[in-house]
Amino acid sequence: MQLICPAGTPAALRDAVDLGADAVYCGFRDETNARNFPGLNFSREELEREIAYAHSRQVHVLVAINTFMRAGSEALWERAVDDAVRLGADALILADLGLIAYTAERHPQARRHLSVQAGAANADHIGFLVEAFGIKRAVLPRVLSLTEVAALTREVPCETEVFVFGGLCVMEEGRCSLSSYATGLSPNMHGVCSPASHVRYRKDGEAMVSMLGDFTINRFGAGEAAGYPTICKGRFTAEGRDGYVFEDPVSLDALAHLDTLHKAGVSALKIEGRQRGRAYVAQVVKEIRRRLQSGSGAADGAEALRRMSEGQRTTEGSYDRRWR
Amino acid sequence: MTDAGADPGAGRLTLTLGPVLFLWSEERWRDFYFRIADEADLDAVVIGETVCSKREHFHARAMDEVAERLTRAGKTVRLASLALVTAPRERKSVQRLAAQERFAVEIGELSAVPRLRGRPFAVGPMVNVYNAATAEVLAKLGATTICLPPELPLASLERICAQAPRVGIEVFAFGKVPLAISARCAHARFRGLTKDTCQFICGEDPDGVAVDTLDGQRFLALNGVQTVSGTCHVALDDIDGLRRAGVRGLRLSPQSCDMVAVAQIFRAVSERRLEAAVGRRRLAEIYPDVPFSNGFLHGRPGRELVAAGQAQ
């Protein structure tokens, strides 16, 4: 199984390459990718230079152009595709149907991966896109159990890639408008979820209140660590009860199931976190490599990894059916 | 505006009733549609379960009867497919819909498309159509009507209508907005259950469970595995703008209120027999205690209500 590592910056890309990634994924510095955060991503020149670096070490570079083309500004997305192909990207990670069709027509030789943002959750859906647009690999949404991942992988006429570590979308990816409901900025259109530009923390007596736009997303008591206000991991009130209505502030850790995923025929394991630093990527890559080699799910590094996770707590998400 | 000189009265807007997003009992569901068939001034009605396959059996028996009665009453009937399809029985459900030829299918995701090859179909608001290129891909495959994602602003709607003229563009115009769908059932969890053991508990909340912020602002609502807005999206003040943009139809999403009266108001405002402001006040009486919003259409947070005078 290939190990696909995040690269938010050129420095992070070199780290991932040096640390043993089989491929890295990254995006351009604009709203054409789903991690359109300040200080992240690549200019054309940077991408060209870093592709050369990665290729010199036999590591692939996958370019995520995985938001949805804004009507009237399609050229921005089309240019991203043209440039990524011209600069030697080994694959494009795409979600927008119109952009997939454009790429298939203009760059038939370019390898096309289906982004998790495309929300293709079954073999009929993926099979259709493989046949119509020559998709070579589908990144599976985090809505499937391990059994479903295995069944789907057996059936689809392309490779599959799954998330094994990092941030967890509680909602199906690419079909969530919670962020734009609160802020006007959405993952699909702007490449941001719960954008930092709309985050505020305010003191309320002893408590710290986290806000997204005009909305309180959480309230932390004295001594409680104040987390980031992502809506699906916020605390709300329903019928007079306060609580984490959708999910606690946790992140995904499916490293205990690498063996199962391998047996299921999954081609690639993906680590989320283009916004994370070198230490994170280093620790995750090291731990996955160790487990893949020893074939053991047991965990010296587990504790170190968990400390690096959001909220310092992890879940297996939908891979474990009981999570539902 | 590209066609500010055009007659904004040109082109009649169709009214479509979207599928019931909530779990209503068989009796309530059937009676609702019987009344819609007999009394509501609507052009098209979309029926079927789009949110959770576990609910499908609730309406399976009444489905044919409802579809026929709506058809006899002169409404075009579309059968909606699920928005999230993972389990084998969900795939079969989509395949069954695609196999029948009596009614048009409204797809909730793309798995039905290859099986519909050649036959016209409609596209529901959970399918990501953000630009004309995507609308054109779907049109080539047979899509004749597309209800665009509710988060799209007017500027995008206008472009899509202009550049994909062979597709009839429909816009979400009334109701709590479907915002997200998950493998996890937050509704069942809230009641101390899980998706597998849910006992169809969402059926006890026919308008969803209100989720407010800790400071008491109305924010979201739980509807099984789906999260909808806590506010009711109302595009009444935007009807002229939508028509100018080239939109051909408005979609009304059933809530626990008098939907026949809601349709009447939308028809009257769209035919300029009623002022939007008056219509909005009447809507507030028909569906009280739920704040209105329309921010999505104006490129603002979807939770916001942009007053008529402030609209661009």
Q: pLDDT at position B312, please? A: 45
Asked if the interface predicted TM-score (ipTM) of this complex is over 0.90, the answer is yes
Q: pLDDT at position A292, please? A: 80
Contacting residues of B for A172, CB less than 8 Å apart:
84, 180-183
Contacting residues of A for B91, CB less than 8 Å apart:
122-124
**Best mutation target, A131, A177, A193, A230, to test chain B (most B CBs within 10 A):** A177
Cβ A276 vs Cβ A8: under 8 Å: yes
Residues 6+ apart with CB under 8 A from B5: none
* Contact flag A236-B220 (C-beta cutoff 8 Å): yes
Q: pLDDT at position B303, please? A: 98
Tokens (6 digits) for A32: 């054409």
Cβ A126 vs Cβ A115: under 8 Å: no
What is the residue extent of each domain of chain A?
A: 2-168+250-323, 178-244
Per-residue pLDDT of chain A (324 residues; tens, 9 = 90+): 999 999 999 999 999 999 899 999 999 999 999 999 888 999 999 999 999 999 999 999 999 999 999 999 999 999 999 999 999 999 999 999 999 999 999 999 999 999 999 999 999 999 999 999 999 999 999 999 999 999 999 999 999 999 999 988 999 999 999 999 999 999 999 999 999 999 999 999 999 999 999 999 999 999 888 899 999 999 999 999 999 999 998 899 999 999 999 999 999 999 999 888 888 888 888 888 888 877 655 555 667 777 777 666 888 888 888 888
The Cα–Cα gap between B299 and B152 comes to 8
Nearest to B209 by CA among B197, B194, B227: B227
Q: How near does any CA of chain A get to the CA of B66, in Å?
A: 29
Q: pLDDT at position A289, please? A: 84
Candidates A69, A219, A324; nearest CB to B195:
A324
* Contact flag A97-B220 (C-beta cutoff 8 Å): no
The Cα–Cα gap between A40 and A156 comes to 34
A201 touches chain B (CB under 8 A): no
Q: CA A276 → CA A5, A40, A64, A256, distances in Å?
A: 11, 10, 17, 22
A219 touches chain B (CB under 8 A): yes
A170 touches chain B (CB under 8 A): yes
Q: How near does any CA of chain A get to the CA of B103, in Å?
A: 22
Tokens (6 digits) for A99: 């952009």
B212 touches chain A (CB under 8 A): yes
Q: Is the pTM of this model over 0.90?
A: yes
Q: How near does any CA of chain B get to the CA of A87, in Å?
A: 25
* Contact flag A181-B302 (C-beta cutoff 8 Å): yes
Could you tell me how far CA B150 lies from the centroid of its own chain? 9
Q: Which residues of B241-279 are buried (b: 16+ CB within 10 A; e: fewer)?
A: bbbbbbbbbbbbbbbbbebbbbbbbbbbbbeeebebeeb
Q: pLDDT at position B310, please? A: 64
* Contact flag A189-B217 (C-beta cutoff 8 Å): no
The Cα–Cα gap between A172 and A167 comes to 13
| Helix (H) or strand (E) segment spanning residue B240 | helix B239-245
The Cα–Cα gap between A162 and A235 comes to 28
Candidates B128, B227, B303; nearest CB to A174:
B128
Fold adopted by A2-168+250-323? TIM Barrel (3.20.20)
pLDDT in tens, B129-157: 999 999 999 999 999 999 999 999 999 99
What is the CB neighbour count within 10 angstroms for residue B306?
18
The Cα–Cα gap between A191 and A65 comes to 10
Q: Which of 3.10.129.10, 3.20.20.70, 3.30.70.870, 3.90.1520.10 would CATH assign to domain B14-175+232-286?
A: 3.20.20.70
Per-residue pLDDT of chain B (312 residues; tens, 9 = 90+): 333 334 444 578 999 999 999 999 999 999 999 999 999 999 999 999 999 999 999 999 999 999 999 999 999 999 999 999 999 999 999 999 999 999 999 999 999 999 998 799 999 999 999 999 999 999 999 999 999 999 999 999 999 999 999 999 999 999 999 999 999 999 999 999 999 999 999 999 999 999 999 999 999 999 999 999 999 999 999 999 999 999 999 999 999 999 999 999 999 999 999 999 999 999 999 999 999 999 999 999 999 999 876 654
Contacting residues of B for A209, CB less than 8 Å apart:
214-215
Contacting residues of B for A242, CB less than 8 Å apart:
214
DSSP state of B13: P
DSSP state of A202: E
Contacting residues of A for B186, CB less than 8 Å apart:
245-246
* Contact flag B214-A235 (C-beta cutoff 8 Å): yes
Q: Is the dihedral of CA B58, B61, B65, B71 positive or negative?
A: positive
**Best mutation target, A163, A180, A217, A220, to test chain B (most B CBs within 10 A):** A180
What is the CB neighbour count within 10 angstroms for residue A80?
24
Contacting residues of B for A219, CB less than 8 Å apart:
214
Q: How near does any CA of chain A get to the CA of B221, in Å?
A: 9
The Cα–Cα gap between A230 and B184 comes to 17
Q: Is the dihedral of CA B86, B138, B17, B105 positive or negative?
A: negative
The Cα–Cα gap between B154 and B180 comes to 21
Q: pLDDT at position A293, please? A: 78
3-class state of residue A2 by DSSP: strand
B215 touches chain A (CB under 8 A): yes
What is the residue extent of each domain of chain B?
A: 14-175+232-286
Nearest to A151 by CA among A170, A177, A126, A180: A126
Q: pLDDT at position A300, please? A: 59
Q: How near does any CA of chain A get to the CA of B124, in Å?
A: 13
Candidates A70, A71, A180; nearest CB to B302:
A180
**Best mutation target, B220, B231, B293, B305, to test chain A (most A CBs within 10 A):** B220
